[in-house]
Amino acid sequence: MSDPEKDEKRSMTQKAVKRILILLAHPSLERSEVNRPLAEAAAAIEGITLIDLYAEYPDFQIDIDREQQRLLEHDVIIFQHPLYWYSTPAILKEWQDLVLEHDFAYGSKGTALHGKLFLNALSAGGAEAAYRAEGYNHFTIRELLQPMEQMASLCGMRYLPPFALFGARTAVDEGRIGHHIDAWIALLEALRDQKLDIETAQKLAGLNSDLNRLIKEA
């Protein structure tokens, strides 16, 4: 793999677009109120590959070669999922266990993912207030997702804080979904066109609140 920094410089000068891979994991999409519209919106954006893991592998027989090839072909990797028991639905765990092989994703020869960006885009039933030390969930979402932050780090990827929708069960009824979808589209386009201030973003607890400030105008 080429040096990520050089890569970045070259693409900056050429204004090259980044290729984005969204791995969607939702085991009952027909009942989804949040993740389905988000996925549909993402799929409509040019330059984005959306993979419905439960559709592709309903029996969990994940094709390792195909998934690794996909990783190689993209620069930004996103896990999109509802928060299930403070983590991802099962198939994303299976995906990690199978696809992130030694000497591919980590280890002395495992440099395939170096320099790529990684983030979680998730919906949580609980309110944002619950996801802090004083709340009943006691931890922030970023803290809860630390295994994935460390996964990214071990694989040499640059980790971005989660893009999350809280109170997801009532988001539609309370009319909060439209704004969230717009933010989601803006985030994806900024990532694609390299307009996101990565350095600043990496220090935040989440991407939602300051999204507008993070996106640089061209």
Partner 1 sequence: MGGLLFQAFIYLCAAVIAVPIAKRLGLGSVLGYLLAGIFIGPVIGLVGSETQTIQHFAEFGVVMMLFLVGLELQPGMLWEMRNRLIGLGGLQVALTTALITAAALMMGLYWSVALTIGLIFSLSSTAIVLQTLNEKGLSKTEGGRAGFSVLLFQDIAVIPMLALIPLLALPELVGGGGDSLVTAAESHGDAGHHHKMSLVDGLPGWAHALVVLGAIASVLLGGHFLSRPMFRFIAESRLREIFTASALMLVIGIALLMTLVDLSPALGTFLAGVVLANSEFRHELESDIEPFKGLLLGLFFITVGAGIDFNILFNDAFTILSLTVGVIVIKGLVLYGLARAFRLTTTDGWLVTLGLAQAGEFGFVLLSFSLQNQVLPAELASTLSLVVALSMLLTPVLFILYDKLILNRQPESDERQADNIDETGSVIIAGNGRFGQIVNRLLVASGIQTTVLDHQADIINMLSKVGVKSYYGDASRPELLHAAGIESAKAVVIAIDDRSRTLEMVEHIRRHYPEVKILARAFDVNHLYLLNKAGVDIAVRELFDSSLELGKATLKAVGVHPFKVEKMSTAFRKHDESGMNTLYELWDENTEMASNKAYLARARELGETLKEMMETDRMQLHDRSERGWTPPPKHYTKDMGE
Ligand X SMILES: Cc1cc2nc3c(=O)[nH]c(=O)nc-3n(C[C@H](O)[C@H](O)[C@H](O)COP(=O)(O)O)c2cc1C
Per CB under 6 A, residues contacting ligand X are: 32-35, 82-86, 123-126, 168-169
Residue 176's SS3 state is coil
CA pair distance 111, 115, nearest whole angstrom = 9
Listed residue (42, 158, 59, 60) closest to 51, CA to CA? 42
Q: Do residues 8 and 76 lie in contact, with contact meaning Cβ atoms separated by under 8 Å?
A: no
- What is the distance between the alpha carbons of residues 168 and 127, in angstroms, rounded to a whole number? 8
Interacting residue with partner 1 among 2, 13, 14, 28 (CB under 8 A) = 28
173 makes contact, choosing from partner 1, ligand X, none, with CB < 5 to 8 Å by partner type, with partner 1
| Choice from 16, 62, 98, 130 touching partner 1 (CB under 8 A) | 130
Residue 35 or 68 with smaller CB distance to partner 1: 35
CB of 148 to ligand X, least distance (A): 15
CA distance linking residue 218 with residue 172, whole number of Å: 33
Q: Which does 69 bind (CB under 5 to 8 A by kind): ligand X, partner 1, none?
A: none
Residues that bind partner 1 (CB under 8 A): 27-31, 54-56, 58-59, 82, 84, 89, 125-127, 129-130, 135-136, 167, 169-170, 173
